[in-house]
Structure 1
């Protein structure tokens, strides 16, 4: 299993200038390579190398850095092709798709640059790195991270690392290759119902209220409106920081919720049943005053956090169809739209069963999780005659 960890670099003033200059240079070179690929229609990385490698070396890039720049440009076109094929840029002939196909892919000056072990080395005991730059090799650049992240870097780092500049601060993101533990014998499933009023409700009794997160988003929205109305340079500078700050806060909340869900399942030897909410944003209908909410929904982020934490802990996880889980009685199985009397109240019209609506849905999801797990584990090989 591959995961990513991030460390913060603490360079001196001259080292900062060299790192910034390096990122500007390699991304400028990547833009040139992208233009060559677009004009010549070069589909393969090996062929693109023939047209660009020599020029990149004359621009001051090292051999490995030049290879990474070419690969980065080629990968960008591969990603563009996949997005077009998947319809993420609109239908054939749409304005957005025409715009994407009519010009070369471009890279911002601070876009990440990949480094392999020939260009970057880690000194874990000293918490320093040695890194290639256009000004030469920089040594003894300090980095800071959590003790657990340092241990993971020492034991599991494998492959490339990316140098990133964000708001004037430099970071290194490293890939970790971790062995997945064996899954234990299941004693049932924990169903997880996702929502806005309650971010997550489990059949084990845990409920993460969304009140605090929703208030935070409301405050951020009001602050953005104030800054937009002000229109000064400082207001515009602050506006650029707001989305990232809100995203960090949301990610922190999602990490806490995901860890609680996985820990509960691991402690009770249970699996996790998550709702498959693919395409929910395009399916829902909302009033005008609700239209700021869907872009802020973190269902996919929370699910991805639960998924990778479950893999690290050896907890089985399945995705289930959430259809009718909010209308179906978890006691008798009766499905009726009027069973859901309000956002919080579920009252079965057949058996009279009364419960919190999210608790009832989570129990239905737990039962569906067991059914899906059993169906996947059953042998499909025909019986021997």
Structure 2
């Protein structure tokens, strides 16, 4: 299993200048490669090398490995663009936004991340330094730091490709490491997790995660963004950028805490985890304008990905189930009716009369569907 570990570089001013020159050269070359790829209609890595490899290697003082990584980065960017076009992320065919995206080549910021492999980057763990390639020559003895877990991971686990990242005036390496994972347990039932707007997550044991206090934080951030956007000055735009990154870090921290708590509870009780398959939820649901802002202000996909990798590391099975009608169906008698849910928080079955918290009821339905899904996939069919 692959995990990404972040460590912070501590370069001297001269080393930082060399790293900056390297990122500028690599990303300027990537922009040129992207234009050529669009002109010749070639988006495959090895085929595109025939058109651009020698030019960018000589013109931008790139090493052989760096030039190949630049070309691969451009091909990956076009692959991502085409996947987004197929899923309709840029509008329907013929729309103005989609035509503009299809006509223009992919662009790269000067400080976009640059991949490094073992030939371009080596680690000296005893001295806690790295030796890293730049356009101005090899930089040796660049110190790095990180949390004890991060430093231990890059020192004790196989390290694959790394990304050099410049963010907020700081330098980072995002290293991919290989982690051994245990065999999946045979679950004794499933812990259902319902994801929502008022309650970010609610499990089938009746525990709600990050509810009222977090929603107050999100509303405050939304009001602040609205005021800064209305002001429109340069300082307001800088503050908006800083607030965006701060809110993203806060959301990631909360999602990590929620995911870790859920996985720990599932492991303690020997159960698997069942979650809703929310792929494309923003395109499927129809909401009023204020609700759209609320729906888009939290990364449910990130929470789902955190649950997936933490569960895999703990050997806990995780299944995705169909989320349709989980909030309208009674977990006790199975009766489904839109009127079973008179408001956001309350569930009252019109057939058997059971009264429950709406999110708890939905989580119980998700847990039941998880058991069915696991049995359908992992148990042999009887003829």
What TM-score do the two structures reach when normalised by structure 2? 0.95
Deviation at 1:234, TM superposition (A): 1.9
**Cα distance 1:91–1:345, how it changes in 2: closer, same or farther (>3 A)?**
closer
Separation in structure 2 between the aligned mates of residue 351 and residue 79 of structure 1, nearest angstrom:
49
The yes-or-no answer on 1:110 pairing with 2:111 is yes
Pairing of 1:159-308 with structure 2 (within 5 A): 159-308=160-309
Give the Å deviation of 1:75: 2.1
- Secondary structure of the 2:246 match is helix
Where do 5+ consecutive residues of structure 1 fail to align? Answer: none
Q: Gaps spanning 5+ residues in structure 2: where?
A: none
Which residue of 2 is the match for residue 313 of structure 1?
Answer: 314
Change (3 A) 1:83 1:339: closer
* Residue 19 (structure 2) aligns with: 19
**2:76 aligns to what SS in structure 1?**
helix
Spell out the pairing of 1:31-110 with structure 2 (5 A cutoff): 31-58=31-58, 59-110=60-111
The 1:158/1:365 distance shift into structure 2, 3 A limit, reads same
CA contact (8 A) 1:326 1:361 kept: yes
* CA offset digits 1:50-96 (Å, max 9, x no partner): 22222223221111111111221222222223332333323322212
Of 286-295 and 265-274, the range deviating more from structure 2: 286-295
In 2: Cα distance, 1:281 partner to 1:296 partner: 12
CA deviation profile, 1:162-201 (whole Å, cap 9, x unmatched): 0011121111111122222111222111011111111111
How many residues of Structure 1 are paired with residues of Structure 2 in the alignment? 382
Listed one character per residue, the Cα deviations across residues 275-321 of structure 1 (whole Å, up to 9, x for unaligned) are: 11222212323333333212113221111110110001000011111
Q: Which moved more, 1:83-92 or 1:63-72?
A: 83-92
Counterpart check, 1:361 vs 2:354: no
Distance 1:224 1:88, change over 3 A: closer
Question: Per the alignment, in what secondary structure is the counterpart of residue 247 of structure 1?
Answer: helix
Q: What is the RMSD computed on CA atoms of the aligned residues?
A: 1.7
Q: Is the 8 A contact 1:213 1:250 kept in 2?
A: no
Moved more, 106-115 or 356-365: 356-365
- Helix, strand or coil for the counterpart of 2:202? strand
- In 2, the alpha carbon distance for the partners of 1:127 and 1:219 equals 41
